Amino acid sequence: MQITLEEHEPRVMGIPIGAIVHACHVATIDQGLAQLAIPGLTRDNLEPVLQYCAEVRCAADKVSCPGCKRRTEMLGLETLDQFILSKKEIIVGDGRVRLKGEGIETVTTPCLESLTRQWSGENYWFWARRVIRKLRHGLRRMHIQGEPVAGEGETPSVILMEPQLADNIGMVARACANFGLDDLRLVNPRDGWPNEKARIAASGANYIIDDAKAYGTLEESLADLNWVAATTARQRDLRKPVLSPEQAIAEMRTRIARGERCGILFGRERNGLETGEVANADALIMIPVNSRFASLNLAQAVLLTGYEWMRGSPQASLGRVTTYEKPLAEGLYMGADRPATKAELTGLFEHLEGELDRLGFFNPRHKRPTVVQNLRTFFLRANATDQEVRTLRGIVATLAQGKGRAKKPPGETP
């Protein structure tokens, strides 16, 4: 496809290259191309377009794309204040908040948080390199195939209310996979669904991402559930049970065991759940936190409740289990070793005490019983293995017999 320089922007068929990179990065390549619908642009000829961006050839051509960090740098905008002044007006959300500037362009932003994070632009050249890797090698971690740990309805559903960042959805999916929560539901995700950025952030929890469902309203996402608990850090003037994560999970286990379906509702990253949304829940979950800093990020909240769920699950494992790694139990890890027998320990004691007798350690002699008792107590408290006992006996023998030539400290002459 021919790349042209129009209005100080590199374009393909009138579309800025940055827009092509953006579309193919936030979704799959095929979804991005379908959305753009650029005549003649296919997977087969997409890479040269991406290479132009990935190699930052725009710098030599002295052009840039809207939304790219290079555009912001070329305009000399170093602060958010300067960015706002460069615009005629910035419309926030539904338009009730508007920021006036001195420029001629009007732009919109979902919220001030997004503006603060995104005003300087995206590193489109870095995104282009990622899309090239996807084009050549497929999706990241696609080879990792997870699967649900339980049947449908046998674990609580995780419901995210209007999640704002695809990265957060991905991290939530990873937390769900860590702790066996197989059903992820999204209510009106801001950046649409499916979303490739969520898959990347999920770091291999692909089956959670693939099976996640998006709903238009909260009511639709809860329709098939019997009992729902809403997480909140704020006190609500609602007459509902207030439970800790441990209590809420215990209630869910009881209900799921008798055939009910349960869910845990989590709020938006920016401001949590509104009271009207909490009213749809049967109970509130409040996580014990520092009262002066009670806000958790979305993935943290899911992680804590997921941990409580997995703690009482038969699928729980201390760490990973692979072909070469067996499940571990709590307590001292012995590996292939075994605890030393009393006979082996007695042999060590008699060996040590005999050499100490020979070398005149017990002086005065009448204190020998007390010192021997202390030594045996010390070694018994160590819970030594059979191998450790053999090593100790070797040390005693070497010290007693004076085997080998003593080594001089470094730098010391004989």
**293 and 162 in a common domain:** yes
Residue 404 gets the label, from left (phi > 0), alpha (psi -120 to 50) or beta, of: left
pTM above 0.85, yes or no: no
pLDDT of residue 111: 85
Binning pLDDT at 50, 70 and 90, where does residue 53 land? very high
| Of the listed ranges 26-40, 155-169, 226-240, 328-342, the one predicted with least confidence | 328-342
pLDDT > 90: what percent of the chain? 58
> Has residue 117 got a pLDDT over 90?
no
* C-alpha–C-alpha distance, residues 345 and 255, integer Å: 53
Asked if 113 and 200 sit in the same domain, the reply is no
Q: Are residues 276 and 367 in the same domain?
A: no
Higher pLDDT, 320 or 90: 90
What is the model's pLDDT at position 200?
82
Would you say 286 and 232 are in contact if contact means Cβ atoms under 8 Å apart?
yes
State whether 115 and 131 are in the same domain.
no
CB 242 within 8 A of CB 284: yes
How many Å apart are CA 77 and CA 103, to the nearest integer?
13
Q: How many distinct structural domains can be found in the chain?
A: 4
How much is the pLDDT for 52? Answer: 94
Confidence of residue 315 (pLDDT cuts 50, 70, 90): low
Q: Give the CATH number of the domain where residue 226 resides.
A: 3.40.1280.10
The pLDDT value given to residue 39: 92
Does pLDDT of 316 surpass 80? no
User: Which DSSP string do the residues of 128-141 spell out, in sequence order?
Assistant: HHHHHHHHHH-STT
Q: Is residue 144 part of a domain?
A: no
In a shared domain, residues 113 and 206:
no
Q: Are 99 and 228 in the same domain?
A: no
Assess if residue 280 is contained within a domain: yes
334 domain-assigned: no
User: What's the pLDDT score for residue 409?
Assistant: 54
Residue 340 reports pLDDT greater than 60: yes
Q: Report, as an integer, the average pLDDT of 216-242.
A: 93
Residue 183 maps to a domain: yes
Do 208 and 238 contact (CB within 8 A), yes or no? no
* Residue 139 clears pLDDT 70, i.e. is over it: no
User: Is 329 within a domain?
Assistant: no
Q: Are residues 249 and 371 in the same domain?
A: no
Contact 397, 358 (CB under 8 A): no
When pLDDT is averaged across residues 91-111 and rounded to a whole number, the result is 90
Average pLDDT, integer, range 247-258: 94
Residue 86 belongs to domain spanning: 78-119
Residues 180 and 283 in one domain: yes
Same-domain status, 27 and 65 = yes
* 392 pLDDT more than 90: yes
In this prediction, residue 103 carries a pLDDT of: 92
Using one digit for the tens of pLDDT, what is the confidence trace for 147-181? 666 677 889 999 999 999 899 999 999 999 989 89
Please indicate, yes or no, if residue 414 is contained in any of the structural domains. Answer: no
pLDDT of 407 over the 70 cut = no
Which tens digits make up the pLDDT trace of 182-225? 999 999 999 888 888 888 888 888 889 988 999 999 999 999 99
Do residues 51 and 90 share a domain?
A: no
- Average the pLDDT over each of 150-154, 181-185, 384-388, 402-406 and give the range with the smallest value: 402-406
**Are the C-beta atoms of residues 44 and 53 closer than 8 Å to each other?**
no
Residue 88 binned pLDDT confidence (cut-offs 50, 70, 90):
very high
Residue 316 falls within a domain, yes or no? no
